[in-house]
Amino acid sequence: MDLPVKFPSETEVILEDVARFRALSPADRIQAIRGLLNAGAQIMRMSPKAAWAKQYARDQELLAQRNIREFIDRHAR
């Protein structure tokens, strides 16, 4: 089907976002990152599953640490 409206692909959208971020000054980049972190923290505070999400994040971090230790033990010799 040939639609009269062209929607951008996901790749095009991502590349535009990257270009927009790279055009920011270093201070504005930090501000943008802080905004994302603040938004994530706000979502966590409002979520009815916040405790589960925090525990899941802790479990994933411990799993990652264990996997890294095992990788180093296997390949560092």
DSSP the chain: ---SSPPPPHHHHHHHHHHHHHTS-HHHHHHHHHHHHHHHHHHHHH-TTHHHHHHHHHHHHHHHHHHHHHHHHHH--
Query: pLDDT grade, residue 6 (50/70/90)?
Result: confident
Q: What is the pTM of this model?
A: 0.59
Arithmetic mean of pLDDT, 64-77: 93
- Ranges of each domain in the chain: 9-46, 48-77
Q: What tens digit of pLDDT does each residue of 12-39 get? A: 999 999 999 999 999 999 999 999 999 9
